[in-house]
A = this chain, B = another copy of it.
Protein backbone atom coordinates (compact mmCIF):
# COMPACT_ATOMS: atom_id res chain seq x y z
CA UNK A 1 0.00 0.00 0.00
CA UNK A 2 3.03 2.26 -0.37
CA UNK A 3 1.22 4.06 -3.18
CA UNK A 4 -1.47 5.23 -0.74
CA UNK A 5 0.04 8.17 1.13
CA UNK A 6 -3.35 9.26 2.49
CA UNK A 7 -3.39 6.21 4.79
CA UNK A 8 -0.17 7.30 6.49
CA UNK A 9 -1.45 10.87 6.87
CA UNK A 10 -4.51 9.65 8.79
CA UNK A 11 -2.51 7.20 10.89
CA UNK A 12 -0.24 9.99 12.06
CA UNK A 13 -3.24 11.30 14.01
CA UNK A 14 -4.02 8.10 15.95
CA UNK A 15 -5.19 8.86 19.47
CA UNK A 16 -5.97 12.52 18.88
CA UNK A 17 -9.45 13.88 19.64
CA UNK A 18 -11.52 14.17 16.46
CA UNK A 19 -9.06 12.07 14.44
CA UNK A 20 -11.92 9.90 13.16
CA UNK A 21 -12.72 12.81 10.83
CA UNK A 22 -9.32 12.42 9.15
CA UNK A 23 -9.97 8.92 7.85
CA UNK A 24 -9.92 9.10 4.04
CA UNK A 25 -13.30 8.13 2.63
CA UNK A 26 -14.97 5.93 1.58
CA UNK A 27 -13.75 3.89 4.53
CA UNK A 28 -14.88 0.84 6.49
CA UNK A 29 -14.90 2.12 10.07
CA UNK A 30 -15.18 -0.24 13.04
CA UNK A 31 -16.64 1.13 16.28
CA UNK A 32 -14.60 -0.78 18.86
CA UNK A 33 -17.10 -0.35 21.71
CA UNK A 34 -19.91 -1.96 19.69
CA UNK A 35 -17.57 -4.58 18.23
CA UNK A 36 -16.25 -5.66 21.62
CA UNK A 37 -19.79 -5.84 23.01
CA UNK A 38 -20.83 -8.05 20.09
CA UNK A 39 -17.87 -10.40 20.56
CA UNK A 40 -18.51 -10.68 24.30
CA UNK A 41 -22.24 -11.30 23.82
CA UNK A 42 -21.80 -14.12 21.31
CA UNK A 43 -19.03 -15.72 23.35
CA UNK A 44 -21.25 -15.64 26.43
CA UNK A 45 -24.25 -17.10 24.59
CA UNK A 46 -22.19 -19.95 23.17
CA UNK A 47 -20.64 -20.64 26.57
CA UNK A 48 -24.05 -20.66 28.24
CA UNK A 49 -25.36 -23.11 25.64
CA UNK A 50 -22.34 -25.37 25.97
CA UNK A 51 -21.41 -24.95 22.30
CA UNK A 52 -18.00 -24.41 20.79
CA UNK A 53 -17.78 -21.07 18.95
CA UNK A 54 -15.97 -20.99 15.60
CA UNK A 55 -16.80 -17.61 14.02
CA UNK A 56 -16.89 -17.43 10.25
CA UNK A 57 -14.01 -15.32 8.96
CA UNK A 58 -15.69 -14.84 5.57
CA UNK A 59 -17.34 -11.84 7.23
CA UNK A 60 -14.17 -10.09 8.39
CA UNK A 61 -11.26 -11.76 6.52
CA UNK A 62 -8.96 -10.25 9.12
CA UNK A 63 -6.33 -11.95 11.29
CA UNK A 64 -6.62 -9.22 13.93
CA UNK A 65 -10.33 -9.91 14.35
CA UNK A 66 -9.80 -13.68 14.29
CA UNK A 67 -7.29 -13.28 17.11
CA UNK A 68 -9.70 -11.14 19.12
CA UNK A 69 -12.38 -13.80 18.68
CA UNK A 70 -10.03 -16.60 19.75
CA UNK A 71 -8.79 -14.62 22.75
CA UNK A 72 -12.48 -14.41 23.73
CA UNK A 73 -12.86 -18.17 23.72
CA UNK A 74 -13.46 -19.15 20.08
CA UNK A 75 -11.91 -22.53 19.22
CA UNK A 76 -10.78 -21.28 15.81
CA UNK A 77 -12.36 -19.72 12.75
CA UNK A 78 -14.11 -20.82 9.59
CA UNK A 79 -12.98 -19.81 6.09
CA UNK A 80 -15.09 -20.07 2.96
CA UNK A 81 -12.23 -20.75 0.56
CA UNK A 82 -8.67 -22.07 0.55
CA UNK A 83 -7.24 -18.66 -0.39
CA UNK A 84 -9.01 -17.07 2.58
CA UNK A 85 -7.51 -19.75 4.82
CA UNK A 86 -4.07 -19.27 3.24
CA UNK A 87 -4.25 -15.52 3.85
CA UNK A 88 -5.19 -15.91 7.51
CA UNK A 89 -2.68 -18.75 8.01
CA UNK A 90 0.08 -16.52 6.61
CA UNK A 91 -0.96 -13.92 9.20
CA UNK A 92 -0.64 -16.42 12.05
CA UNK A 93 -4.07 -17.96 12.54
CA UNK A 94 -3.56 -21.63 13.40
CA UNK A 95 -7.05 -23.16 13.73
CA UNK A 96 -9.15 -23.05 10.56
CA UNK A 97 -12.09 -25.01 9.15
CA UNK A 98 -12.68 -24.58 5.39
CA UNK A 99 -16.46 -24.72 5.04
CA UNK A 100 -16.78 -25.25 1.25
CA UNK A 101 -15.86 -28.44 -0.57
CA UNK A 102 -13.00 -28.10 -3.05
CA UNK A 103 -12.41 -29.83 -6.38
CA UNK A 104 -9.30 -30.92 -8.26
CA UNK A 105 -5.90 -32.26 -7.35
CA UNK A 106 -4.21 -28.83 -7.35
CA UNK A 107 -6.63 -27.61 -4.70
CA UNK A 108 -6.28 -30.83 -2.70
CA UNK A 109 -2.52 -30.14 -2.65
CA UNK A 110 -3.21 -26.66 -1.24
CA UNK A 111 -5.38 -28.19 1.49
CA UNK A 112 -2.62 -30.68 2.26
CA UNK A 113 -0.10 -27.87 2.61
CA UNK A 114 -2.38 -26.10 5.10
CA UNK A 115 -2.95 -29.36 6.98
CA UNK A 116 0.79 -29.86 7.23
CA UNK A 117 1.50 -26.33 8.44
CA UNK A 118 -1.40 -25.42 10.73
CA UNK A 119 -1.92 -26.52 14.28
CA UNK A 120 -5.53 -27.50 13.56
CA UNK A 121 -6.73 -27.52 9.95
CA UNK A 122 -10.09 -29.01 8.94
CA UNK A 123 -11.96 -29.16 5.66
CA UNK A 124 -15.33 -30.42 4.48
CA UNK A 125 -16.01 -32.93 1.70
CA UNK A 126 -19.30 -33.81 0.03
CA UNK A 127 -18.37 -36.51 -2.48
CA UNK A 128 -16.29 -39.68 -2.55
CA UNK A 129 -14.24 -38.22 -5.43
CA UNK A 130 -13.28 -35.31 -3.20
CA UNK A 131 -12.20 -37.78 -0.54
CA UNK A 132 -10.03 -39.57 -3.10
CA UNK A 133 -8.36 -36.30 -4.13
CA UNK A 134 -7.51 -35.43 -0.51
CA UNK A 135 -6.28 -38.98 0.18
CA UNK A 136 -4.05 -38.91 -2.92
CA UNK A 137 -1.99 -36.11 -1.37
CA UNK A 138 -0.72 -38.52 1.28
CA UNK A 139 -1.09 -35.82 3.93
CA UNK A 140 -2.81 -36.56 7.25
CA UNK A 141 -5.95 -34.45 7.33
CA UNK A 142 -9.04 -33.86 9.46
CA UNK A 143 -12.26 -33.88 7.45
CA UNK A 144 -15.95 -33.32 8.04
CA UNK A 145 -18.82 -34.41 5.83
CA UNK A 146 -20.79 -31.47 4.51
CA UNK A 147 -24.52 -32.26 4.66
CA UNK A 148 -27.13 -30.41 2.60
CA UNK A 149 -29.72 -29.26 5.15
CA UNK A 150 -32.03 -27.78 2.50
CA UNK A 151 -30.05 -24.99 0.89
CA UNK A 152 -28.97 -27.22 -2.00
CA UNK A 153 -25.65 -25.42 -2.43
CA UNK A 154 -23.15 -27.99 -1.26
CA UNK A 155 -23.23 -31.12 0.87
CA UNK A 156 -24.27 -34.72 0.54
CA UNK A 157 -27.82 -34.93 -0.74
CA UNK A 158 -29.09 -37.87 1.34
CA UNK A 159 -28.25 -40.04 4.34
CA UNK A 160 -27.18 -42.78 1.91
CA UNK A 161 -24.68 -40.47 0.27
CA UNK A 162 -23.43 -39.41 3.71
CA UNK A 163 -22.72 -43.06 4.49
CA UNK A 164 -20.95 -43.50 1.12
CA UNK A 165 -18.66 -40.55 1.79
CA UNK A 166 -18.02 -41.78 5.34
CA UNK A 167 -16.98 -45.19 4.04
CA UNK A 168 -14.68 -43.52 1.51
CA UNK A 169 -13.01 -41.56 4.32
CA UNK A 170 -12.67 -44.60 6.55
CA UNK A 171 -10.78 -46.44 3.80
CA UNK A 172 -7.92 -43.93 4.10
CA UNK A 173 -6.05 -44.16 7.41
CA UNK A 174 -4.47 -40.71 6.97
CA UNK A 175 -7.89 -39.06 6.77
CA UNK A 176 -9.62 -38.54 10.11
CA UNK A 177 -13.40 -38.15 10.10
CA UNK A 178 -14.25 -35.55 12.74
CA UNK A 179 -17.96 -35.13 12.11
CA UNK A 180 -20.42 -33.22 9.97
CA UNK A 181 -21.35 -29.71 8.87
CA UNK A 182 -24.86 -28.48 8.08
CA UNK A 183 -25.28 -24.85 7.17
CA UNK A 184 -28.60 -23.25 6.27
CA UNK A 185 -27.61 -20.00 4.64
CA UNK A 186 -31.17 -19.52 3.41
CA UNK A 187 -32.50 -19.48 6.97
CA UNK A 188 -30.36 -16.63 8.23
CA UNK A 189 -32.46 -13.73 6.98
CA UNK A 190 -35.95 -15.18 7.43
CA UNK A 191 -38.30 -12.74 9.16
CA UNK A 192 -39.31 -13.80 12.66
CA UNK A 193 -37.81 -16.14 15.21
CA UNK A 194 -40.59 -18.72 14.82
CA UNK A 195 -40.13 -19.07 11.07
CA UNK A 196 -36.39 -19.47 11.54
CA UNK A 197 -36.87 -22.05 14.32
CA UNK A 198 -39.21 -24.17 12.14
CA UNK A 199 -36.77 -24.12 9.23
CA UNK A 200 -33.86 -25.00 11.47
CA UNK A 201 -35.84 -27.92 12.95
CA UNK A 202 -36.40 -29.37 9.48
CA UNK A 203 -32.73 -28.97 8.60
CA UNK A 204 -31.56 -30.48 11.88
CA UNK A 205 -33.74 -33.54 11.19
CA UNK A 206 -31.86 -34.03 7.90
CA UNK A 207 -28.57 -33.55 9.69
CA UNK A 208 -29.53 -36.08 12.38
CA UNK A 209 -30.44 -38.63 9.70
CA UNK A 210 -27.04 -38.14 8.06
CA UNK A 211 -25.29 -38.52 11.42
CA UNK A 212 -27.14 -41.77 12.10
CA UNK A 213 -26.18 -43.14 8.66
CA UNK A 214 -22.53 -42.19 9.15
CA UNK A 215 -22.44 -43.92 12.55
CA UNK A 216 -24.15 -46.94 11.01
CA UNK A 217 -21.34 -47.01 8.43
CA UNK A 218 -18.79 -47.10 11.25
CA UNK A 219 -17.88 -43.40 11.33
CA UNK A 220 -17.39 -41.27 14.43
CA UNK A 221 -19.23 -37.95 14.68
CA UNK A 222 -17.66 -35.82 17.38
CA UNK A 223 -18.22 -32.43 15.80
CA UNK A 224 -21.52 -31.13 14.42
CA UNK A 225 -20.87 -27.65 13.09
CA UNK A 226 -23.14 -25.08 11.45
CA UNK A 227 -25.45 -22.18 12.21
CA UNK A 228 -25.16 -18.46 11.77
CA UNK A 229 -25.97 -15.08 13.25
CA UNK A 230 -29.64 -15.23 12.21
CA UNK A 231 -30.46 -18.63 13.63
CA UNK A 232 -28.36 -18.60 16.74
CA UNK A 233 -31.24 -18.95 19.21
CA UNK A 234 -32.80 -21.79 17.21
CA UNK A 235 -29.41 -23.48 16.66
CA UNK A 236 -28.88 -23.59 20.41
CA UNK A 237 -32.40 -24.80 21.17
CA UNK A 238 -32.31 -27.78 18.79
CA UNK A 239 -29.47 -29.55 20.57
CA UNK A 240 -27.94 -31.08 17.43
CA UNK A 241 -24.97 -28.78 16.84
CA UNK A 242 -21.84 -28.96 18.98
CA UNK A 243 -20.24 -25.93 17.32
CA UNK A 244 -21.64 -22.72 15.84
CA UNK A 245 -20.26 -20.61 12.96
CA UNK A 246 -21.76 -17.12 13.19
CA UNK A 247 -19.92 -14.37 11.31
CA UNK A 248 -21.92 -11.20 10.78
CA UNK A 249 -22.70 -10.73 14.52
CA UNK A 250 -19.34 -8.99 14.96
CA UNK A 251 -20.44 -6.13 12.68
CA UNK A 252 -24.17 -6.42 11.83
CA UNK A 253 -25.83 -4.84 8.77
CA UNK A 254 -29.18 -3.60 7.54
CA UNK A 255 -30.25 -7.01 6.24
CA UNK A 256 -29.79 -8.67 9.64
CA UNK A 257 -31.31 -5.68 11.42
CA UNK A 258 -34.43 -5.92 9.23
CA UNK A 259 -34.75 -9.68 9.68
CA UNK A 260 -33.97 -9.96 13.39
CA UNK A 261 -35.66 -6.80 14.66
CA UNK A 262 -36.44 -7.19 18.34
CA UNK A 263 -35.76 -10.94 18.45
CA UNK A 264 -33.23 -12.20 20.99
CA UNK A 265 -30.88 -12.67 18.03
CA UNK A 266 -31.18 -8.95 17.34
CA UNK A 267 -29.23 -7.79 20.40
CA UNK A 268 -26.04 -7.21 18.43
CA UNK A 269 -25.04 -3.62 17.75
CA UNK A 270 -24.15 -1.98 14.46
CA UNK A 271 -20.36 -1.90 14.72
CA UNK A 272 -19.23 -1.25 11.16
CA UNK A 273 -20.21 1.65 8.94
CA UNK A 274 -18.87 3.04 5.71
CA UNK A 275 -17.79 6.65 6.17
CA UNK A 276 -18.41 8.91 3.19
CA UNK A 277 -17.85 12.54 2.22
CA UNK A 278 -20.08 14.85 0.17
CA UNK A 279 -18.07 15.71 -2.95
CA UNK A 280 -20.73 17.68 -4.84
CA UNK A 281 -23.73 19.61 -3.55
CA UNK A 282 -24.87 21.57 -6.61
CA UNK A 283 -28.22 19.83 -6.98
CA UNK A 284 -31.22 21.21 -5.06
CA UNK A 285 -32.69 17.81 -4.15
CA UNK A 286 -29.67 15.68 -3.31
CA UNK A 287 -25.95 15.67 -2.65
CA UNK A 288 -23.38 13.24 -4.03
CA UNK A 289 -21.15 11.23 -1.69
CA UNK A 290 -17.95 9.39 -2.56
CA UNK A 291 -19.15 5.83 -1.93
CA UNK A 292 -20.74 3.81 -4.70
CA UNK A 293 -21.03 0.22 -5.73
CA UNK A 294 -17.27 -0.33 -5.38
CA UNK A 295 -17.44 0.59 -1.66
CA UNK A 296 -20.73 -0.98 -0.55
CA UNK A 297 -22.55 -4.25 -1.23
CA UNK A 298 -25.28 -4.06 -3.86
CA UNK A 299 -26.84 -7.50 -3.37
CA UNK A 300 -28.87 -6.70 -0.25
CA UNK A 301 -31.02 -3.77 0.81
CA UNK A 302 -29.75 -0.22 0.23
CA UNK A 303 -27.39 1.30 2.78
CA UNK A 304 -28.94 3.72 5.28
CA UNK A 305 -27.43 6.91 6.71
CA UNK A 306 -26.38 6.53 10.34
CA UNK A 307 -25.11 9.98 11.24
CA UNK A 308 -27.33 12.19 13.41
CA UNK A 309 -29.03 14.85 11.28
CA UNK A 310 -29.27 12.50 8.29
CA UNK A 311 -32.17 10.37 9.58
CA UNK A 312 -34.53 11.66 6.90
CA UNK A 313 -32.02 11.25 4.06
CA UNK A 314 -32.06 8.19 1.85
CA UNK A 315 -29.21 6.66 -0.12
CA UNK A 316 -29.23 5.43 -3.72
CA UNK A 317 -26.32 4.10 -5.74
CA UNK A 318 -25.08 6.64 -8.25
CA UNK A 319 -22.61 4.57 -10.25
CA UNK A 320 -19.35 2.82 -9.40
CA UNK A 321 -17.89 5.48 -7.17
CA UNK A 322 -20.73 7.68 -5.97
CA UNK A 323 -23.94 7.66 -3.99
CA UNK A 324 -26.95 9.95 -4.14
CA UNK A 325 -28.06 11.14 -0.70
CA UNK A 326 -31.37 12.96 -0.63
CA UNK A 327 -31.14 16.24 1.26
CA UNK A 328 -32.34 15.67 4.85
CA UNK A 329 -35.22 17.76 6.15
CA UNK A 330 -34.42 20.92 8.09
CA UNK A 331 -30.70 20.82 7.51
CA UNK A 332 -28.25 22.23 4.98
CA UNK A 333 -25.61 19.82 3.68
CA UNK A 334 -22.53 21.09 1.90
CA UNK A 335 -19.36 19.93 0.15
CA UNK A 336 -16.94 18.19 2.50
CA UNK A 337 -19.51 17.03 5.07
CA UNK A 338 -19.17 13.44 6.23
CA UNK A 339 -21.86 10.87 6.88
CA UNK A 340 -21.70 7.21 7.84
CA UNK A 341 -23.74 4.54 6.09
CA UNK A 342 -24.96 1.24 7.52
CA UNK A 343 -24.16 -1.35 4.82
CA UNK A 344 -26.95 -3.46 3.35
CA UNK A 345 -24.93 -6.71 3.52
CA UNK A 346 -21.78 -6.69 5.59
CA UNK A 347 -19.66 -9.55 4.18
CA UNK A 348 -19.35 -8.32 0.58
CA UNK A 349 -19.01 -4.74 1.86
CA UNK A 350 -15.88 -5.61 3.83
CA UNK A 351 -14.56 -7.53 0.82
CA UNK A 352 -14.54 -4.19 -1.04
CA UNK A 353 -12.00 -2.70 1.41
CA UNK A 354 -8.28 -3.29 1.92
CA UNK A 355 -8.31 -2.01 5.49
CA UNK A 356 -10.64 -1.46 8.44
CA UNK A 357 -10.25 1.70 10.51
CA UNK A 358 -10.62 1.24 14.28
CA UNK A 359 -12.32 4.02 16.22
CA UNK A 360 -13.57 4.59 19.73
CA UNK A 361 -16.01 7.47 19.76
CA UNK A 362 -14.42 10.21 17.72
CA UNK A 363 -10.87 8.95 18.13
CA UNK A 364 -9.01 6.91 15.52
CA UNK A 365 -7.22 4.05 17.27
CA UNK A 366 -5.61 2.29 14.33
CA UNK A 367 -5.98 0.47 11.03
CA UNK A 368 -5.95 -3.25 10.31
CA UNK A 369 -5.48 -5.05 6.99
CA UNK A 370 -8.25 -7.21 5.52
CA UNK A 371 -5.80 -9.98 4.62
CA UNK A 372 -8.42 -12.19 2.99
CA UNK A 373 -9.94 -9.50 0.81
CA UNK A 374 -10.49 -10.86 -2.70
CA UNK A 375 -9.27 -14.32 -1.64
CA UNK A 376 -12.11 -16.26 -3.26
CA UNK A 377 -9.93 -18.96 -4.87
Give A contacts to B, CB under 8 Å.
Answer: 2-6, 9, 22, 24-27, 58, 80-83, 86-87, 89-91, 100-104, 106-107, 110, 113, 126-127, 129-130, 148, 152-157, 161, 185, 277-283, 286, 288, 290-295, 297-299, 317-322, 324, 335-336, 347-348, 351-354, 371, 373-377
Asked if residues B3 and A113 are in contact (CB atoms below 8 Å), the reply is: no
Asked if residues A4 and B86 are in contact (CB atoms below 8 Å), the reply is: yes
Asked if residues B280 and A101 are in contact (CB atoms below 8 Å), the reply is: yes
Complex CA gap A280/B129 in Å reads: 11
Contacts A153-B319, A294-B376; A3 near B347 (Cβ below 8 A): no
Neighbouring B residues of A24 by C-beta, 8 Å: 83, 106-107, 377
Neighbouring B residues of A297 by C-beta, 8 Å: 293, 298
Contacts A90-B2, A352-B374; A321 near B290 (Cβ below 8 A): no
Partner of A351, one of B91, B101, B319, B352: B352
Partner of A153, one of B3, B148, B324: B324
Asked if residues B320 and A3 are in contact (CB atoms below 8 Å), the reply is: no
Neighbouring B residues of A148 by C-beta, 8 Å: 282-283
Closest residue of B by beta carbon distance from A374:
B354
Complex CA gap A73/B291 in Å reads: 32
Asked if residues A106 and B9 are in contact (CB atoms below 8 Å), the reply is: yes
Neighbouring B residues of A81 by C-beta, 8 Å: 290, 321
Partner of A22, one of B26, B106, B281: B106
Instruction: With A3-B87, A100-B321, A154-B279 given, name 16 new contacts (CB 8 A).
Output: A6-B82, A26-B376, A58-B321, A101-B280, A103-B280, A126-B280, A152-B324, A154-B282, A156-B282, A290-B376, A293-B348, A294-B347, A294-B348, A320-B351, A351-B352, A354-B374
Contacts A103-B335, A129-B335, A293-B348; A153 near B376 (Cβ below 8 A): no
Neighbouring B residues of A107 by C-beta, 8 Å: 6, 24
Asked if residues B103 and A336 are in contact (CB atoms below 8 Å), the reply is: yes
Partner of A90, one of B3, B157, B294, B317: B3
Asked if residues A154 and B9 are in contact (CB atoms below 8 Å), the reply is: no
Asked if residues A376 and B155 are in contact (CB atoms below 8 Å), the reply is: no
Can you list 9 residue pairs at the A/B interface with Cβ under 8 Å? A2-B90, A5-B110, A80-B321, A81-B290, A81-B321, A130-B335, A294-B351, A298-B299, A373-B374
Partner of A83, one of B6, B283, B298: B6
Neighbouring B residues of A82 by C-beta, 8 Å: 6
Across chains A and B, which 3 residue pairs bring their CB atoms closest together, nearest first? A3-B90, A154-B280, A103-B336
Give the interface centre of A104, A291, A295 by most chain B CB atoms within 10 Å.
A104
Q: In angstroms, how far is the closest chain B Cβ from the Cβ of A184?
A: 11
Asked if residues B299 and A5 are in contact (CB atoms below 8 Å), the reply is: no
Partner of A6, one of B91, B110, B292, B352: B110
Closest residue of B by beta carbon distance from A319:
B185
Neighbouring B residues of A295 by C-beta, 8 Å: 376
Partner of A87, one of B4, B80, B129: B4
Neighbouring B residues of A113 by C-beta, 8 Å: 5
Neighbouring B residues of A110 by C-beta, 8 Å: 5-6
Closest residue of B by beta carbon distance from A286:
B152
Contacts A5-B113, A103-B277, A374-B352; A320 near B347 (Cβ below 8 A): yes
Asked if residues B104 and A336 are in contact (CB atoms below 8 Å), the reply is: yes
Neighbouring B residues of A129 by C-beta, 8 Å: 335-336
Neighbouring B residues of A376 by C-beta, 8 Å: 26, 290-292, 294-295, 321, 352
